[in-house]
Amino acid sequence: MIAVRGNTFFLSTDNTSYIFGVTDEGLLEHYHYGKRVDVSDEAVTDSVRAMREKVSHGKGTTINYAKDSLTVTEDMLLEVSSVGKGDLREPFILVRYPDGSSTSDFIFKEAVVLDTPEMLKGMPSAIPAGEDVKQLKVVLTERVRPVTLVLYYTVFEKCNVITRRAVLVNSEKENIIIKRIMSAQLDIDEAGLKAITFGGNWGREMKRTDTIVKNHTFVNATASGVSSNRSNPFVMLTKADATEEAGDCYGFNLIYSGNHYEAVDVSGFYKTRFITGINPQNFEWVLEPGEEFETPEAVMTYSAAGFRELSLNMQHFVKRHIVRGKYADKARPILLNSWEAAYFNISESRILSLAKKAKEAGVELLVMDDGWFKGRNDDTTSLGDWTEDKKKLPGGIEGLARKVNDIGLDFGIWVEPEMISEKSDLYEVHPEYAMTVPGRDNSPGRNQMILDLTQPEVREYVKNSMRRVIGAKGVSYVKWDMNRMFSDVYSKALSPVRQGECAHRYVLGLYEILKTLTEEFPDVLFENCASGGNRFDLGMTAYMPQTWGSDDSDAYERTFIQTGYSYGYPMSTVTAHVSACPNHQTLRNTPLDTRFNVAAFGVLGYEINLGECNAEDFKAIKAQIETYKEWRDVFFGGDFYRVDDTQWMVVSPDKKRAVTMIWNGLCNPNEFYRKIKTVGLAEDKTYHVYNVKLRHNIKQFGSLVNQVAPVHVKQDSLMHNTIAKFVKMDGEVEDYTVSGEFLNNVGIKLTQAFGGTGYNSETRLFQDFSSRMYFIESID
């Protein structure tokens, strides 16, 4: 809901209020963003007066806004800030005018409430998705320059989300230079807040970092050309003592896939400013007369009840208003990807062999990863030459897809369309397509270069080459990869004075390509990938409903990575695979059931040579897939909760079914008792809680078996292996029927874990990296 009372604006969601107004000087003053407050018409005047800053005299050596004003912008909560008028904090906008000056003073002109939101023209926006979504359009004009700044606020009531963006319009007779323009700014009347960010590197994405910001400036940013695994654009700003269940929390994200910048700036007056938008580093945009520049859309949410409620707001928003198309609400197929099973060693016979075993296991989609196109036997060659290698695929893509379809599986394919290899037919013919700086050696990255998507002819080449691949009959899934960050950023299509536009124009070019292809192939499931999570953001999610969360498929590492994503993204956007052990990234061994349990909480897939699995593991994988299919609607469509550091839970929207999982790092001898509590169940319902009984391989006990064996058994001997083949140890059984109120507030103490002495069928064998999944069904 949006209410305009005079020059005060009340934006309300189900649980939050965002209020700002216009000062006597025409500045936009921020009043409140937090718990919902309903102000009656009779109380508006006093309420606004109560929220405003009161100034009766000057403040030390600060700068007054104007000669006839005591206003000090450095000590105000503002909706938009600039430089030159006394505000020394991080600015929202920085423009260089034709005379070389950079002072800006944007003042209120008018505002209008739009029943149908205006959408961005060149970038993805959040969509109404059938809901009654209102938008506030606020027009500001520069006090002495013919330049207009338009602010957009879009209210998504049910998700408790408000989005913001800006458009700058140049009505000067000469060019102006945009040095910085953000998407959102939030000023808060306190300091010492905690900035929670998520970053890392390849193979260790989304590691949470907490930073208390008491003064100065804290920055979360990337200049890598992509949203990056170093600093994801999702950021939380919370009370220092906020927890999962309590405390004021703000959450922010950016619907953008390039260089981004988030800053938490605390002033000398102990006010905190948060800004987010395009990274101003190496950014400079020439705005000609009559042109406009639009920023990406920023996403904001608030929770008075800790991280958990904030995460639910973001989950619901992304599911409803970012993900779109055929697969927005459609559960995704279980896939087998060929990468770790074959790497570049692709052939039709190998793919068909994988497909047959995949079908036997219950897999629904076979994906042929890298190595299928002409000359591609390693990562040094052939990117850009998207023609199948007929030696590997004699029947081409369509011939292979038909044979895979005949087996009973859908067929998918891997591509990396934004890249070019120096050893490629494309580079021989069009070296100018590569992003390089003339006269300078290019810095290598994974033996490949980036295609310059700022060039129209390059974009057309990518579209046409992908039309041939994606349009091949039988292709129903595409994994779109991007395995390189930017270096030597330069566009041969831009003049020297416009090189600061290159990185952003690349993103705009990418969006043009993705929009074209996803609209031309609406039935194809696209999966985003950038060496894992190097471009996991809401911009890509608007075109591709799922993203490969990390190249690290180690189950234990994935518990941290997927927990990180869960703060700002629904698990239905995070793909996760069961892979071989030792794991190819860590060489760690983890139990097969743990690998499944962790992956099942994302979009499940397998990345393993099923033909080389032993009979016991293959049988287990088949059972895993059957279980997942039975519970897929809960994993895919449910609300995800972090119960504690080693417990996840997902609950169906109707609260009739749920799954929770606990896991272990390193086990301890003489282990303590463990309890599981639940979150999100209906307290007035009665639930059946149970686990799937495990049967343990006797070799897990090593030589300890001799404590009960009638004869001595040498570890790993023929006798030991023979016994292990026929004798299994029964695992524990957990089976309870209790109320949701009991589960949420009291919980269940689990059976005793093995801790060095004693074992029977009521003992929980919980070794290093073990896990358990518990299923919960309403019986009402």
Q: Please write the tens of the pLDDT for every residue from 423-469.
A: 999 999 999 999 999 999 999 899 999 999 999 999 999 999 999 99
Residues 6+ apart with CB under 8 A from 661: 597, 598, 601, 647, 648, 649, 771, 772, 773, 774
Q: Is residue 379 part of a domain?
A: yes
572 shares its domain with 480: yes
The predicted structure's pLDDT at residue 669? 85
Instruction: Give the span between the Cα atoms of 553 and 559, in whole angstroms.
Output: 10
Quickly state the pLDDT bin for 513 (edges 50, 70, 90).
Answer: very high
SS3 for 33-53 is EEECCCCCHHHHHHHHHHHCC
Mean pLDDT, range 205-221, rounded to an integer: 97
Task: Determine the length of the chain.
Answer: 780
**What 3-state DSSP class applies to 745?**
helix
Instruction: Give the span between the Cα atoms of 122 and 512, in whole angstroms.
Output: 7
**What is the token pair recorded at 465?**
């080459």
Burial zone of 512 (CB within 10 Å; 0-12 exposed, 13-18 middle, 19+ buried): middle
Tell me, what amino acid is at 276?
T
Tell me, what amino acid is at 156?
F
187 shares its domain with 150: yes
Q: Is residue 508 part of a domain?
A: no
Judge whether residue 488 has pLDDT over 90: yes
Q: CA 282 → CA 222, 223, 225, 515, 539, distances in Å?
A: 11, 8, 11, 27, 21
Range of the domain at 492: 335-456+471-500+524-623
Q: Is residue 464 part of a domain?
A: no
CB 307 within 8 A of CB 634: no
37 shares its domain with 153: yes
Mean pLDDT, range 645-661, rounded to an integer: 98
The predicted structure's pLDDT at residue 721? 78
Give CA 270 to chain center in angstroms. Answer: 32
780 is catalytic: no
Q: What are the pLDDT digits (tens) for 392-420?
A: 999 999 999 999 999 999 999 999 999 99
Instruction: Give the span between the Cα atoms of 235 and 245, in whole angstroms.
Output: 18
The predicted structure's pLDDT at residue 336? 99
Instruction: Give the span between the Cα atoms of 551 and 229, in whole angstroms.
Output: 11
247 shares its domain with 341: no
Q: Is residue 515 part of a domain?
A: no
* Between 327 and 704, residue with greater pLDDT: 327
Judge whether residue 701 has pLDDT over 80: no
How many other CB atoms are there within 10 angstroms of residue 231's CB atom?
23
User: Catalytic: which of 551, 552, 593, 639?
Assistant: 551
Angle of helix 396-407 relative to helix 348-361, nearest 10 degrees, comes to 20
Judge whether residue 735 has pLDDT over 90: yes
314 shares its domain with 349: no
How many other CB atoms are there within 10 angstroms of residue 133's CB atom?
20
Q: Is the peptide bond before 91 cis (omega within 30 degrees of 0)?
A: no
Closest to 442 in 3D by CA, of 489, 501, 404, 475: 489
Tell me, what amino acid is at 106?
F
Angle of helix 592-600 relative to helix 555-566, nearest 10 degrees, comes to 10
Tokens 């009979």 identify what position? 615
Q: Is residue 329 part of a domain?
A: no
Q: CA 532 → CA 37, 502, 569, distances in Å?
A: 42, 24, 15
447 shares its domain with 495: yes
Q: CA 529 → CA 363, 478, 535, 723, distances in Å?
A: 21, 10, 7, 44
The predicted structure's pLDDT at residue 39? 86
Q: Is residue 50 part of a domain?
A: yes
Judge whether residue 547 has pLDDT over 80: yes
365 shares its domain with 297: no
**What is the token pair recorded at 27?**
């500045």
The predicted structure's pLDDT at residue 756? 78
pTM of the predicted model as reported, rounded to 2 decimal places: 0.96
CB 634 within 8 A of CB 652: yes
Mean pLDDT, range 56-65, rounded to an integer: 86
Q: What are the pLDDT digits (tens) for 309-358?
A: 999 999 999 999 999 999 999 999 999 999 999 999 999 999 999 999 99
DSSP string across 409-435 = -EEEEEE-TTEE-SBSHHHHH-GGGB-
Q: What is the sign, positive or negative, of the torsion defined by CA atoms of 707, 713, 714, 718?
A: negative
Single out the residue in 289, 322, 355 at which a domain terminates.
322
Single out the residue in 322, 353, 376 at which a domain terminates.
322
606 shares its domain with 678: no
The predicted structure's pLDDT at residue 697? 78
Give CA 69 to chain center in angstroms. Answer: 45
618 shares its domain with 738: no
299 shares its domain with 404: no
User: How many structural domains is the chain composed of?
Assistant: 3
Instruction: Give the span between the Cα atoms of 521 and 514, in whole angstroms.
Output: 10
300 shares its domain with 168: yes
Give CA 150 to chain center in angstroms. Answer: 28
Q: CA 753 → CA 242, 732, 769, distances in Å?
A: 32, 9, 14
CATH number of the domain at 72, please.
Answer: 2.70.98.60
Single out the residue in 322, 354, 382 at which a domain terminates.
322
259 shares its domain with 110: yes
CATH number of the domain at 348, please.
Answer: 3.20.20.70
**What 3-state DSSP class applies to 79?**
coil
189 is catalytic: no
User: Catalytic: which of 105, 248, 410, 481?
Assistant: 481
The predicted structure's pLDDT at residue 695? 83
Judge whether residue 115 has pLDDT over 90: yes
Q: 508 φ, ψ to 5°?
A: -60, -40
Quickly state the pLDDT bin for 54 (edges 50, 70, 90).
Answer: confident
The predicted structure's pLDDT at residue 704? 75
Question: What Rg, from alpha-carbon coordinates, does the chain have?
Answer: 28
**What is the token pair recorded at 345?**
């060693």
Q: Is residue 638 part of a domain?
A: no
CA dihedral 593, 599, 601, 604 (to 10 degrees): -120
Q: Considering the chain, what is the average pLDDT of its residues?
A: 96
Judge whether residue 507 has pLDDT over 80: yes
Instruction: Give the span between the Cα atoms of 179 and 279, in whole angstroms.
Output: 10
Q: CA 236 → CA 327, 531, 540, 640, distances in Å?
A: 28, 25, 21, 18
Mean pLDDT, range 212-232, rounded to an integer: 97
Quickly state the pLDDT bin for 41 (edges 50, 70, 90).
Answer: confident
Q: Is residue 371 part of a domain?
A: yes
